[in-house]
Structure 1
Amino acid sequence: MIGRLIDGRYQVRSRIARGGMATVYLATDLRLERRVAIKIMHGHLADDNTFKTRFVQEARSAARLAHPNVVNVFDQGQDADMAYLVMEYLPGITLRDLLKDYKRLTPEQTVDIMDAVVAGLAAAHQAGIVHRDLKPENVLLADDGRIKLGDFGLARAVSANTATGQALLGTIAYLSPELVTRGVADARSDIYALGIMMYEMLTGEQPYVGEAPMQIAYQHANDSVPQPSSKNPAVPHELDELVHWATARDPNERPSDARELLLRLREIEPLVRGTADAALLATAPVTSAMGETAPLAATRVLDPAISSAAVAPATDEPGETDASKLAATAQRRHRRGYWIFAFVLLLTGLAAGTGWYFGAGPGALQAVPETATLTPDAATDVLEDAGFAVVLDERNDPVVAEGLVSGTDPAAGARAQRGSAVRLFVSLGPRILTVPQVLGMSEADARAALGEFTVADEAVEQFSADAAAGTVIALLDGGGAPLPPTYAERGAITLVVSVGPIPDVTGLPAADAEAALVDAGLTVGHGEDVFSDDVEAGIVVSQTPNADPMHPGDTVTLVVSKGPDLVEVPNVITGQTVAQARAQLEALEFAVSSNVPEFLEGAVVATVQSPAAGERVKRGSEIQVNFG
């Protein structure tokens, strides 16, 4: 597919990912001069109307949504035998990639990502669309910080909630109990999947595991999801409750749709981040000192209702007493004003200092620069120039060459405090993995088993008398050589798949034999026909080659019988000598015998021949020429 021009508009550049129904490529829209992601349905599914309908449904479902947290769909169409879907291209990683790198996320990171995902899903639910395949693989984290929900391949209208004949849709780890037991999916089934995703983000593992899919499905249907804090004590109580609410086994006990979940999520976000209590503590001194104590004190002093009788006992000079009382009160008011002013100055200084510390000082947040594919020394310089301390580490990377930087923790683009440590990972190259034993498997099962490698889209087809059609008979490396037992992660692998045995057409009429070979995908060639005493004329005597390895399109050469080699016996007794008769017959490759001595053959006329003239006999037969 690389380099192919689709529908006269989209130039395919490289492959991004491969799924069970389609492969996604990076392409250039030549008309609008922009990069796009183009999803192309697998060729072996093109004739399946169910898959075609689902593929088109994804385009229609996503196209109905216009939301910043949903992947935009630009176009959908058919080019020859290929169905395709054109979407916006988001360079970055998936939530699954992030979880693989970091194992689990902090509550704050979880809330950030879930806010965007739930917002996008709320837009889908509002448009009457149920996603039905929510999982970390379908959450895209763009390099520029955008978070989007994609892959609406299993989406359906909310009213179409019965999955007749295909109860288990989506990924088994995220299926709701009602989808497992009754095959019914609605907006609340999406909420359940979100709850499972949140649990996985907070704990680094899925709540249910098992050796077989049905074991996991049984747990979904019969068990309750445990609290994330039982695995990660750092999870706050509010997120425990949110996961419990979203993963209730009874759909009626869950949020009715994503909008209801989003409202609750945004209510608890300040509590998760710890900002609500901090805000109350910060405003409490100001309120008590300035908003209540000072104004009330001043009011009490200056209130005209205060009389001399209420202020102090009577004296001989009430006017003087009243003056001294007012002076004392004024002095106290001034002293209180100084304290309030000093307190305000202190708060202002603290606010300014805090603002400087977190805005421009050591505590300021700074985006971690991109360092992937740089040398460790160059990457260290870049990070130190940005104000970070560098800690070197190593990890395997299937893409970045050994010895170069494969990434950082925090990741590039994330914001971290200046002066904080950034872990710089130097690539050890790809992991060397044991290749799974897939010989004898179906092509689809083999591709699934080889998920940690890059399997070529097109398999090599080969005839095999020992393997059933459609099963894998060999694996080839990127250079076409037999694959070794261990191989690099994401290394290129090509499957060799059996198309069954070469048809044996010997003994068939030539026309039937040729038709059988053409139907098997072979090209037919013809050798020189041969005489045969055992095979009648027009029947195939032999085919070459007649053994493995052969591939569709190769040539099989047929040799057809002309039947026995019969020759008409000429008349040699019309005045010829025996010698002349012998010469005529031997020229036709007959053996000649005679009752005339050899030294008299030139003088004696032949009078008898057997077989008689005009009979057809096998070339090389014996003809008797006698006198008498």
Structure 2
Amino acid sequence: MADLLDGRYLLHEKLGRGMFGTVHRAELRVLGHTLRQVGVKLFHAERAVPVPELLGEALQSIEVVEKCPDPVVRDRFLTCLDAGVEDGAAGRPYMVTELARGDLAWRLRGGQLPVATVRDYARQLCQGLAFLHGQGVVHLDLKPGNILVSASGSLKIGDFGLARRVSAVLRRAPAAGGTVWYVPAEVLQLQEAGPEADVYALGLICYQMLTGRLPHQDQLRAAAPDEVTAPDTDTLVRLKLRDAEPPGIRNPEVRGHPFEAVVMRAVSPLATDRYPDAGALLRALDDPAGAPPPRALTPRQRLETLTEHLRGALRRGDLDLADELRREALDLNRALPDTAMVPEVYALATEAALRRDEGGEARALAMEGLGRRRCPETFRAMAAAFAGTELGRGFARRSGEGAGR
């Protein structure tokens, strides 16, 4: 039976369900007459996020879009028509949008798409995202189910439930299958998320359109099977820090095509290796040969990024990923001169070895770090590696002194 929302919107069948709510086809009814068909998103009643925050963050981003002077760019987003809370703060929060005819997830059920179609879709999405990024906003929830297909066949970006200013710290990460599949490792570890996170999601969507599947898809489905099951975050992060195989392996049409290289850079595991924002990705789509090269990271910068991920893996107790990261971080650290190396790598690598009950390895790493630089981080490594001994107690006392070499 149809449900009348807020005395105006006659709800019909469900069109989709996401992390924050359910979308219905609906009619706007006034004095018994249907004025238009619309889409209504009802936010879940068991929401953990307050209503003002849910609606406020989404509406702020929509307001940015509405102020865009370019009608072509505005058309890349689903138009918001209304929003509110039924029967006051205790009721159901909702958002009303134009009614789309389907989404990209439905379009992908038929498998891979022609390269020309994928490039066209990628350009359309980049036009919208480039505007958002230029206004200091990141979407953070791009996935085929949130990309709507209009009656004319053009794509529209919807669902601003996670969108926020670039400078804002991500207070809640996507937490369900289908969404987390398109989220990079740095977001899953609750670090600050920038435009590179949207570039990653768009790159994965292009990869899926080209091949009919995501990189590591079987493992992704096992780690995050659906929209309601809590994901295995440790496995997800480990998968997302692995390189994807080139899409040309599954789709000969794109093998060796300049577009393949563009997609591969967009899905790079580390944010610093991707295009910095959708504007740069759009320029690469228009002129792959003339696209700017990846930002040249110094070995020290790459090492600092790996160190952040190693710290996150240890914090979550993912020892398998920590082992992979510590080996790569140690190799980079050893190649740097003593004055440029990152002492914390030795402290973290020592901790990882101790958690594996590899006492001899831990002591060797701690002594290696101390031999290269005497500082609080290497003192801390020595204190941990030689815990319970007079030597360990001595370094524990010294770890707060800040002595330099």
TM interval, shorter chain, is: 0.5 to 0.7
- Give the structure 1 partner of residue 108 of structure 2: 99
1:558-604 CA distance string (max 9 Å, x none)? xxxxxxxxxxxxxxxxxxxxxxxxxxxxxxxxxxxxxxxxxxxxxxx
- Matching residue within 29, 42, 45 for 2:44: 42
Structure 1 residues 63, 86: CA separation in 2 closer, same or farther (over 3 Å shift)? Answer: farther
Q: TM-score, normalised by structure 2?
A: 0.60
- C-alpha distance in 2, partners of 1:68/1:172? 27
Where does 1:115-130 land on structure 2 (aligned, <5 Å)?
115-130=123-138
Q: CA deviation at 1:171?
A: 1.9
- Matching residue within 61, 68, 82 for 1:75: 82
| Greater gyration radius | 1
1:42-65 CA distance string (max 9 Å, x none)? 2233xx444652243223312321
Where does 1:578-597 land on structure 2 (aligned, <5 Å)?
none
Structure 1 residues 241, 140: CA separation in 2 closer, same or farther (over 3 Å shift)? Answer: same
Letter in 2 for 1:163: L
Query: Is 2:239 the counterpart of 1:232?
Result: no
Letter in 1 for 2:208: E
1:129-172 CA distance string (max 9 Å, x none)? 11111111111112322211111111111111x32464768822
- Give the structure 2 partner of residue 63 of structure 1: 63
Question: Would you say the 8 A contact 1:133–1:152 is kept in 2?
Answer: yes
Structure 1 residues 111, 129: CA separation in 2 closer, same or farther (over 3 Å shift)? Answer: same
1:522-554 CA distance string (max 9 Å, x none)? xxxxxxxxxxxxxxxxxxxxxxxxxxxxxxxxx
Structure 1 residues 167, 22: CA separation in 2 closer, same or farther (over 3 Å shift)? Answer: closer
Q: CA deviation at 1:259?
A: 1.1
- C-alpha distance in 1, partners of 2:180/2:190? 14
Structure 1 residues 144, 216: CA separation in 2 closer, same or farther (over 3 Å shift)? Answer: same
Query: Is 2:199 the counterpart of 1:187?
Result: no
Structure 1 residues 139, 248: CA separation in 2 closer, same or farther (over 3 Å shift)? Answer: same
Letter in 1 for 2:85: Q
Structure 1's unaligned 5+ residue stretches are 270-628
**Aligned partner of residue 206 in structure 2, secondary structure:** helix
Question: Would you say the 8 A contact 2:172–2:190 is kept in 1?
Answer: no
Question: Would you say the 8 A contact 2:51–2:93 is kept in 1?
Answer: no
- Matching residue within 192, 205, 212 for 1:197: 205
- Give the structure 2 partner of residue 19 of structure 1: 18
Q: Identical aligned pairs, as a percentage? A: 30
Structure 1 residues 22, 52: CA separation in 2 closer, same or farther (over 3 Å shift)? Answer: farther
Question: Would you say the 8 A contact 2:265–2:274 is kept in 1?
Answer: yes
Aligned residues: 262
Structure 2's unaligned 5+ residue stretches are 67-73, 224-231, 290-405
In terms of fraction of residues, the more strand-rich structure is 1
Question: Would you say the 8 A contact 1:62–1:71 is kept in 2?
Answer: no
Structure 1 residues 17, 168: CA separation in 2 closer, same or farther (over 3 Å shift)? Answer: closer
Where does 1:362-377 land on structure 2 (aligned, <5 Å)?
none
- C-alpha distance in 2, partners of 1:166/1:147? 25
1:170-224 CA distance string (max 9 Å, x none)? 8222111222345331111110111111111111111023132432321102x11
Letter in 2 for 1:113: Y
Question: Would you say the 8 A contact 1:173–1:208 is kept in 2?
Answer: no
- Give the structure 2 partner of residue 159 of structure 1: 167
Structure 1 residues 51, 172: CA separation in 2 closer, same or farther (over 3 Å shift)? Answer: farther
Letter in 1 for 2:79: N
Where does 1:554-573 land on structure 2 (aligned, <5 Å)?
none
- Give the structure 2 partner of residue 173 of structure 1: 181
1:58-116 CA distance string (max 9 Å, x none)? 233123213111111121111111111111112x221111111x211111111111111
Structure 1 residues 182, 201: CA separation in 2 closer, same or farther (over 3 Å shift)? Answer: same
Question: Would you say the 8 A contact 2:143–2:179 is kept in 1?
Answer: yes
Letter in 2 for 1:77: G
Q: CA deviation at 1:237?
A: 2.2
**Aligned partner of residue 65 in structure 2, secondary structure:** coil
**Aligned partner of residue 183 in structure 1, secondary structure:** coil
Instruction: Output the aligned Cα RMSD.
Output: 2.3
**Aligned partner of residue 33 in structure 1, secondary structure:** strand
- Give the structure 2 partner of residue 431 of structure 1: none
Question: Would you say the 8 A contact 1:68–1:148 is kept in 2?
Answer: yes
- C-alpha distance in 2, partners of 1:24/1:153? 13
In terms of fraction of residues, the more helix-rich structure is 2
- Give the structure 2 partner of residue 461 of structure 1: none
Query: Is 2:159 the counterpart of 1:139?
Result: no
- C-alpha distance in 2, partners of 1:189/1:250? 10
Instruction: Report 1 or 2 for greater relative contact order, CA contacts < 8 Å, sequence distance ≥ 6.
Output: 2
Question: Would you say the 8 A contact 1:56–1:76 is kept in 2?
Answer: no
Question: Would you say the 8 A contact 1:188–1:256 is kept in 2?
Answer: yes
Q: TM-score, normalised by structure 1?
A: 0.39
- C-alpha distance in 1, partners of 2:269/2:46? 38
